[in-house]
Amino acid sequence: MSAIWEHPHEDTPRLVYADWLQEAGEPANVARAEFIRLQCEQFRLDEEDPRHGELDKQTAKLLRYHRKEWVTALPPLLTRARFVRGFIYPRLRGIRANQFLALGPADLAPAPLWSFKIESGAKVWPAVADSPNLQRLDHLDLGNNLLDEAAAVRLLSSEHVTNVSVLGLGLSRFTPAALAALAANDRLTNLTELTFWANRMTDETFAPLAGSARLATVRALNLSQNELTAATMRALAGSPHAAGLRSLDLFGNRLGDDGVRELCRSALNLRVLNLHATGMTDACAEEFANWPGLRSVRYLTLGATPLTTATARAFTASPYFRDDVVIAFWHTRIRSDSAAANALRERVKNVTFW
Protein backbone atom coordinates (compact mmCIF):
# COMPACT_ATOMS: atom_id res chain seq x y z
CA MET A 1 0.00 0.00 0.00
CA SER A 2 2.80 2.45 0.80
CA ALA A 3 4.07 2.19 -2.80
CA ILE A 4 0.65 3.40 -4.04
CA TRP A 5 0.80 6.44 -1.78
CA GLU A 6 4.41 7.17 -2.83
CA HIS A 7 3.71 6.78 -6.57
CA PRO A 8 0.01 7.65 -6.89
CA HIS A 9 0.02 8.21 -10.67
CA GLU A 10 1.57 4.85 -11.49
CA ASP A 11 -0.59 1.81 -12.15
CA THR A 12 1.98 -0.83 -11.24
CA PRO A 13 1.71 -0.52 -7.41
CA ARG A 14 -2.09 -0.63 -7.68
CA LEU A 15 -2.01 -3.72 -9.85
CA VAL A 16 0.47 -5.42 -7.51
CA TYR A 17 -1.93 -4.71 -4.65
CA ALA A 18 -4.78 -6.15 -6.76
CA ASP A 19 -2.76 -9.36 -7.21
CA TRP A 20 -2.25 -9.56 -3.45
CA LEU A 21 -5.98 -9.17 -2.86
CA GLN A 22 -6.70 -11.85 -5.45
CA GLU A 23 -4.38 -14.27 -3.67
CA ALA A 24 -6.12 -13.56 -0.37
CA GLY A 25 -9.11 -15.34 -1.86
CA GLU A 26 -11.99 -13.81 0.09
CA PRO A 27 -14.94 -12.77 -2.14
CA ALA A 28 -14.78 -9.08 -1.20
CA ASN A 29 -11.02 -9.00 -1.85
CA VAL A 30 -11.34 -10.78 -5.18
CA ALA A 31 -14.04 -8.30 -6.24
CA ARG A 32 -11.85 -5.35 -5.16
CA ALA A 33 -8.93 -6.78 -7.14
CA GLU A 34 -11.08 -6.95 -10.26
CA PHE A 35 -12.40 -3.44 -9.58
CA ILE A 36 -8.88 -1.98 -9.32
CA ARG A 37 -7.78 -3.64 -12.57
CA LEU A 38 -10.88 -2.53 -14.45
CA GLN A 39 -10.69 1.09 -13.25
CA CYS A 40 -6.98 1.31 -14.07
CA GLU A 41 -7.70 0.05 -17.58
CA GLN A 42 -10.62 2.45 -17.98
CA PHE A 43 -8.56 5.43 -16.82
CA ARG A 44 -6.07 4.88 -19.65
CA LEU A 45 -8.74 4.75 -22.37
CA ASP A 46 -10.19 7.58 -24.41
CA GLU A 47 -13.76 8.30 -23.35
CA GLU A 48 -14.95 7.53 -26.86
CA ASP A 49 -13.37 4.09 -26.89
CA PRO A 50 -16.23 1.51 -26.87
CA ARG A 51 -14.38 -0.39 -24.18
CA HIS A 52 -14.63 2.66 -21.88
CA GLY A 53 -18.42 2.42 -21.63
CA GLU A 54 -18.27 -1.35 -21.12
CA LEU A 55 -15.82 -0.98 -18.26
CA ASP A 56 -17.97 1.74 -16.72
CA LYS A 57 -20.88 -0.70 -16.47
CA GLN A 58 -18.71 -3.42 -14.96
CA THR A 59 -17.16 -1.18 -12.32
CA ALA A 60 -20.54 0.35 -11.45
CA LYS A 61 -21.93 -3.12 -10.81
CA LEU A 62 -19.03 -4.08 -8.55
CA LEU A 63 -19.31 -0.81 -6.67
CA ARG A 64 -23.04 -1.26 -6.20
CA TYR A 65 -22.53 -4.63 -4.52
CA HIS A 66 -19.36 -3.95 -2.52
CA ARG A 67 -19.09 -0.22 -1.80
CA LYS A 68 -20.33 -0.54 1.77
CA GLU A 69 -17.60 -3.08 2.60
CA TRP A 70 -14.89 -1.04 0.90
CA VAL A 71 -15.61 2.23 2.71
CA THR A 72 -16.21 0.84 6.19
CA ALA A 73 -12.78 1.82 7.50
CA LEU A 74 -12.83 5.30 5.96
CA PRO A 75 -13.66 8.55 7.80
CA PRO A 76 -17.36 9.46 7.48
CA LEU A 77 -16.64 12.40 5.15
CA LEU A 78 -15.06 10.07 2.60
CA THR A 79 -17.66 7.31 2.47
CA ARG A 80 -19.55 9.04 -0.37
CA ALA A 81 -16.48 9.98 -2.38
CA ARG A 82 -15.95 8.45 -5.80
CA PHE A 83 -13.35 5.84 -6.66
CA VAL A 84 -10.60 6.52 -9.23
CA ARG A 85 -8.24 3.77 -10.37
CA GLY A 86 -9.57 1.54 -7.61
CA PHE A 87 -9.14 3.87 -4.63
CA ILE A 88 -11.16 6.56 -2.95
CA TYR A 89 -10.75 10.05 -4.45
CA PRO A 90 -11.99 12.88 -2.17
CA ARG A 91 -13.96 15.70 -3.77
CA LEU A 92 -12.51 19.21 -4.02
CA ARG A 93 -12.48 20.78 -0.58
CA GLY A 94 -11.93 24.41 0.36
CA ILE A 95 -9.37 24.93 3.10
CA ARG A 96 -7.60 27.94 4.56
CA ALA A 97 -3.84 28.03 4.15
CA ASN A 98 -3.12 27.71 7.88
CA GLN A 99 -5.40 24.67 8.11
CA PHE A 100 -3.66 23.08 5.15
CA LEU A 101 -0.28 23.58 6.78
CA ALA A 102 -1.58 22.00 10.00
CA LEU A 103 -2.58 18.74 8.30
CA GLY A 104 -0.52 15.79 9.48
CA PRO A 105 0.26 12.42 7.85
CA ALA A 106 -2.70 10.79 9.60
CA ASP A 107 -5.11 13.36 8.14
CA LEU A 108 -4.00 12.56 4.60
CA ALA A 109 -3.54 8.81 5.05
CA PRO A 110 -7.03 7.61 3.92
CA ALA A 111 -6.50 8.43 0.21
CA PRO A 112 -3.55 8.33 -2.20
CA LEU A 113 -4.42 11.72 -3.69
CA TRP A 114 -6.42 14.75 -2.53
CA SER A 115 -8.08 17.84 -4.01
CA PHE A 116 -7.84 21.17 -2.19
CA LYS A 117 -8.78 24.75 -2.93
CA ILE A 118 -6.40 26.68 -0.71
CA GLU A 119 -7.68 30.09 0.34
CA SER A 120 -6.46 33.27 2.00
CA GLY A 121 -2.78 32.49 2.24
CA ALA A 122 -1.50 36.08 2.44
CA LYS A 123 1.80 36.01 4.35
CA VAL A 124 1.90 32.21 4.63
CA TRP A 125 2.14 31.49 0.88
CA PRO A 126 5.90 30.77 1.14
CA ALA A 127 5.16 28.18 3.83
CA VAL A 128 2.51 26.60 1.59
CA ALA A 129 4.99 26.44 -1.30
CA ASP A 130 7.50 24.68 0.95
CA SER A 131 4.98 22.27 2.49
CA PRO A 132 5.41 18.53 1.78
CA ASN A 133 1.60 18.32 2.01
CA LEU A 134 1.52 19.59 -1.58
CA GLN A 135 2.95 16.23 -2.62
CA ARG A 136 -0.35 14.62 -1.68
CA LEU A 137 -2.41 16.79 -4.04
CA ASP A 138 -3.74 15.78 -7.43
CA HIS A 139 -5.97 18.85 -7.76
CA LEU A 140 -4.59 22.16 -6.50
CA ASP A 141 -6.85 25.19 -6.86
CA LEU A 142 -5.33 28.56 -5.98
CA GLY A 143 -8.10 30.60 -7.58
CA ASN A 144 -9.66 33.75 -6.09
CA ASN A 145 -6.57 34.59 -4.08
CA LEU A 146 -5.33 37.56 -6.13
CA LEU A 147 -1.78 36.27 -5.79
CA ASP A 148 0.94 38.86 -6.15
CA GLU A 149 4.02 38.15 -8.25
CA ALA A 150 6.23 37.00 -5.37
CA ALA A 151 3.65 34.54 -4.06
CA ALA A 152 2.81 33.25 -7.54
CA VAL A 153 6.46 32.67 -8.45
CA ARG A 154 7.14 30.90 -5.16
CA LEU A 155 4.10 28.61 -5.49
CA LEU A 156 4.58 27.81 -9.17
CA SER A 157 8.27 27.03 -8.55
CA SER A 158 7.55 24.64 -5.67
CA GLU A 159 9.41 21.34 -5.65
CA HIS A 160 6.40 19.67 -3.98
CA VAL A 161 3.88 19.86 -6.86
CA THR A 162 5.08 16.60 -8.39
CA ASN A 163 1.69 14.89 -8.25
CA VAL A 164 -0.51 17.83 -9.28
CA SER A 165 -2.45 17.00 -12.44
CA VAL A 166 -5.14 19.70 -12.16
CA LEU A 167 -3.95 23.23 -11.44
CA GLY A 168 -6.46 26.06 -10.98
CA LEU A 169 -5.06 29.60 -11.21
CA GLY A 170 -8.14 31.74 -11.73
CA LEU A 171 -8.70 35.33 -10.66
CA SER A 172 -5.18 36.48 -9.90
CA ARG A 173 -2.91 39.00 -11.57
CA PHE A 174 -0.16 36.91 -13.08
CA THR A 175 2.96 38.48 -14.56
CA PRO A 176 5.34 37.06 -17.18
CA ALA A 177 7.68 36.10 -14.31
CA ALA A 178 4.99 33.91 -12.73
CA LEU A 179 4.24 32.17 -16.05
CA ALA A 180 7.96 31.70 -16.61
CA ALA A 181 8.21 30.01 -13.21
CA LEU A 182 5.42 27.63 -14.17
CA ALA A 183 7.01 26.92 -17.55
CA ALA A 184 10.37 26.17 -15.92
CA ASN A 185 9.07 23.84 -13.20
CA ASP A 186 10.06 20.43 -14.54
CA ARG A 187 8.43 18.69 -11.55
CA LEU A 188 4.97 19.22 -13.06
CA THR A 189 5.24 16.08 -15.16
CA ASN A 190 1.70 14.91 -14.33
CA LEU A 191 -0.04 18.17 -15.25
CA THR A 192 -3.06 17.50 -17.50
CA GLU A 193 -5.48 20.35 -16.76
CA LEU A 194 -4.61 24.03 -16.42
CA THR A 195 -7.01 26.89 -15.71
CA PHE A 196 -6.32 30.63 -15.98
CA TRP A 197 -9.79 32.18 -15.96
CA ALA A 198 -10.33 35.90 -15.34
CA ASN A 199 -6.73 36.97 -14.86
CA ARG A 200 -6.72 39.93 -17.26
CA MET A 201 -3.88 38.03 -18.87
CA THR A 202 -2.33 39.58 -21.99
CA ASP A 203 -0.31 38.04 -24.80
CA GLU A 204 2.87 39.26 -23.11
CA THR A 205 1.89 37.60 -19.83
CA PHE A 206 1.06 34.25 -21.42
CA ALA A 207 4.05 34.24 -23.79
CA PRO A 208 6.47 32.32 -21.49
CA LEU A 209 4.03 29.42 -21.35
CA ALA A 210 2.57 29.54 -24.87
CA GLY A 211 5.50 27.75 -26.51
CA SER A 212 6.73 25.94 -23.42
CA ALA A 213 7.26 22.20 -23.12
CA ARG A 214 5.20 22.43 -19.93
CA LEU A 215 2.11 22.24 -22.17
CA ALA A 216 3.16 18.84 -23.55
CA THR A 217 1.14 16.88 -20.98
CA VAL A 218 -1.78 19.33 -20.75
CA ARG A 219 -5.06 18.03 -22.19
CA ALA A 220 -7.45 20.78 -20.98
CA LEU A 221 -6.51 24.48 -21.09
CA ASN A 222 -8.93 27.13 -19.81
CA LEU A 223 -7.93 30.67 -20.79
CA SER A 224 -11.39 32.17 -20.48
CA GLN A 225 -12.09 35.83 -19.64
CA ASN A 226 -8.64 37.20 -20.31
CA GLU A 227 -7.28 39.76 -22.79
CA LEU A 228 -5.57 37.42 -25.23
CA THR A 229 -5.50 38.17 -28.94
CA ALA A 230 -4.57 36.50 -32.21
CA ALA A 231 -0.91 36.57 -31.13
CA THR A 232 -1.52 33.99 -28.39
CA MET A 233 -3.60 31.84 -30.75
CA ARG A 234 -0.73 31.97 -33.24
CA ALA A 235 1.74 30.86 -30.57
CA LEU A 236 -0.49 27.99 -29.42
CA ALA A 237 -1.33 26.88 -32.95
CA GLY A 238 2.35 26.77 -33.86
CA SER A 239 3.59 25.09 -30.70
CA PRO A 240 4.58 21.42 -31.02
CA HIS A 241 3.91 21.12 -27.30
CA ALA A 242 0.20 21.94 -27.65
CA ALA A 243 -0.54 18.97 -29.89
CA GLY A 244 -2.02 16.98 -27.01
CA LEU A 245 -4.70 19.56 -26.15
CA ARG A 246 -8.20 18.12 -26.23
CA SER A 247 -10.13 20.96 -24.58
CA LEU A 248 -9.52 24.67 -25.20
CA ASP A 249 -11.66 27.39 -23.59
CA LEU A 250 -11.10 30.85 -25.08
CA PHE A 251 -14.37 32.42 -23.93
CA GLY A 252 -14.24 36.19 -23.54
CA ASN A 253 -10.85 36.82 -25.15
CA ARG A 254 -10.10 39.31 -27.93
CA LEU A 255 -9.21 36.87 -30.68
CA GLY A 256 -11.34 38.39 -33.42
CA ASP A 257 -11.43 36.86 -36.88
CA ASP A 258 -7.63 36.93 -37.07
CA GLY A 259 -7.36 34.73 -33.99
CA VAL A 260 -9.90 32.25 -35.36
CA ARG A 261 -7.94 32.12 -38.63
CA GLU A 262 -4.78 31.28 -36.66
CA LEU A 263 -6.70 28.41 -35.07
CA CYS A 264 -7.74 27.22 -38.55
CA ARG A 265 -4.08 27.02 -39.57
CA SER A 266 -3.32 24.67 -36.69
CA ALA A 267 -3.25 20.90 -36.51
CA LEU A 268 -4.90 20.85 -33.08
CA ASN A 269 -7.03 17.79 -32.40
CA LEU A 270 -9.57 19.28 -29.99
CA ARG A 271 -12.61 17.56 -28.51
CA VAL A 272 -14.04 20.66 -26.77
CA LEU A 273 -13.72 24.22 -28.13
CA ASN A 274 -15.26 27.37 -26.66
CA LEU A 275 -15.13 30.47 -28.88
CA HIS A 276 -18.01 32.28 -27.18
CA ALA A 277 -17.55 36.07 -27.06
CA THR A 278 -14.21 36.02 -28.88
CA GLY A 279 -15.18 38.46 -31.63
CA MET A 280 -15.63 35.93 -34.43
CA THR A 281 -17.82 37.24 -37.27
CA ASP A 282 -19.28 35.98 -40.53
CA ALA A 283 -16.09 37.10 -42.28
CA CYS A 284 -14.18 33.99 -41.21
CA ALA A 285 -17.11 31.57 -40.89
CA GLU A 286 -16.41 29.80 -44.14
CA GLU A 287 -12.72 29.37 -43.34
CA PHE A 288 -13.62 28.01 -39.91
CA ALA A 289 -16.26 25.66 -41.35
CA ASN A 290 -13.62 24.26 -43.71
CA TRP A 291 -11.02 23.69 -41.01
CA PRO A 292 -10.12 19.96 -40.99
CA GLY A 293 -9.65 20.20 -37.23
CA LEU A 294 -13.44 20.17 -36.85
CA ARG A 295 -13.36 16.41 -37.49
CA SER A 296 -12.41 15.86 -33.85
CA VAL A 297 -14.55 18.57 -32.20
CA ARG A 298 -17.47 17.10 -30.24
CA TYR A 299 -18.57 20.21 -28.31
CA LEU A 300 -18.44 23.70 -29.86
CA THR A 301 -19.68 26.95 -28.30
CA LEU A 302 -20.01 30.24 -30.19
CA GLY A 303 -21.85 33.51 -29.76
CA ALA A 304 -22.14 37.00 -28.31
CA THR A 305 -20.95 38.20 -31.73
CA PRO A 306 -22.90 39.26 -34.86
CA LEU A 307 -23.00 35.82 -36.48
CA THR A 308 -25.80 35.67 -39.05
CA THR A 309 -27.23 33.56 -41.85
CA ALA A 310 -23.85 33.50 -43.62
CA THR A 311 -22.34 31.53 -40.73
CA ALA A 312 -25.30 29.14 -40.65
CA ARG A 313 -24.90 28.44 -44.37
CA ALA A 314 -21.15 27.93 -44.07
CA PHE A 315 -21.64 25.48 -41.20
CA THR A 316 -24.38 23.64 -43.09
CA ALA A 317 -22.01 23.14 -46.04
CA SER A 318 -19.05 22.05 -43.89
CA PRO A 319 -17.71 18.59 -44.77
CA TYR A 320 -15.92 18.29 -41.42
CA PHE A 321 -18.53 18.38 -38.64
CA ARG A 322 -19.01 15.03 -36.90
CA ASP A 323 -22.46 13.47 -36.92
CA ASP A 324 -22.58 13.69 -33.13
CA VAL A 325 -21.17 17.21 -32.74
CA VAL A 326 -22.97 19.44 -30.23
CA ILE A 327 -23.02 23.15 -31.17
CA ALA A 328 -24.35 25.92 -28.94
CA PHE A 329 -24.93 29.42 -30.34
CA TRP A 330 -25.41 32.15 -27.73
CA HIS A 331 -27.00 35.50 -28.59
CA THR A 332 -26.51 35.38 -32.35
CA ARG A 333 -28.80 36.50 -35.18
CA ILE A 334 -28.94 33.10 -36.81
CA ARG A 335 -32.22 31.98 -35.31
CA SER A 336 -33.98 35.01 -36.83
CA ASP A 337 -33.64 33.30 -40.22
CA SER A 338 -35.71 30.18 -39.61
CA ALA A 339 -34.88 28.63 -43.00
CA ALA A 340 -31.12 28.88 -42.42
CA ALA A 341 -31.46 27.70 -38.82
CA ASN A 342 -33.57 24.71 -39.84
CA ALA A 343 -31.13 23.79 -42.62
CA LEU A 344 -28.31 23.81 -40.07
CA ARG A 345 -30.40 21.62 -37.76
CA GLU A 346 -30.76 19.11 -40.59
CA ARG A 347 -26.97 19.03 -40.98
CA VAL A 348 -26.15 19.13 -37.25
CA LYS A 349 -28.73 17.32 -35.16
CA ASN A 350 -27.51 18.69 -31.82
CA VAL A 351 -27.51 22.44 -32.38
CA THR A 352 -29.10 24.92 -29.99
CA PHE A 353 -29.73 28.68 -30.14
CA TRP A 354 -29.85 30.56 -26.85
CA 105 vs CA 77, 136, 160, 257, 265: distances in Å:
17, 10, 15, 52, 50
What is the pLDDT, as a whole number, of residue 61?
Answer: 97
Global pTM reads 0.95
| Strand bridging mode 299-303 / 272-274 | parallel
Beta bridge partners of 301: 274, 328
What is the pLDDT, as a whole number, of residue 40?
Answer: 98
What's the CA gap between 154 and 29, in Å, rounded?
44
From the list 84, 91, 18, the residue with the least C-alpha distance to 56 is 84
Per-residue pLDDT of the chain (354 residues; tens, 9 = 90+): 899 999 999 999 999 999 999 998 889 899 999 999 999 999 999 988 999 999 999 999 999 999 999 999 999 999 999 999 999 999 999 999 999 999 999 999 999 999 999 998 678 999 999 999 999 999 999 999 988 899 999 999 999 999 999 999 998 888 999 999 999 999 999 999 999 999 999 999 999 999 999 999 999 999 999 999 999 999 999 999 999 999 999 999 999 999 999 999 999 999 999 999 999 999 999 999 999 999 999 999 999 888 899 999 999 999 999 999 999 999 888 878 889 889 999 999 999 988
Q: What share of the chain is helix, strand, coil (3-state, %, to 5)?
A: 45, 15, 40
CA 302 vs CA 293, 298, 328: distances in Å:
16, 13, 6
What's the CA gap between 8 and 25, in Å, rounded?
25
What is the pLDDT, as a whole number, of residue 1?
Answer: 87
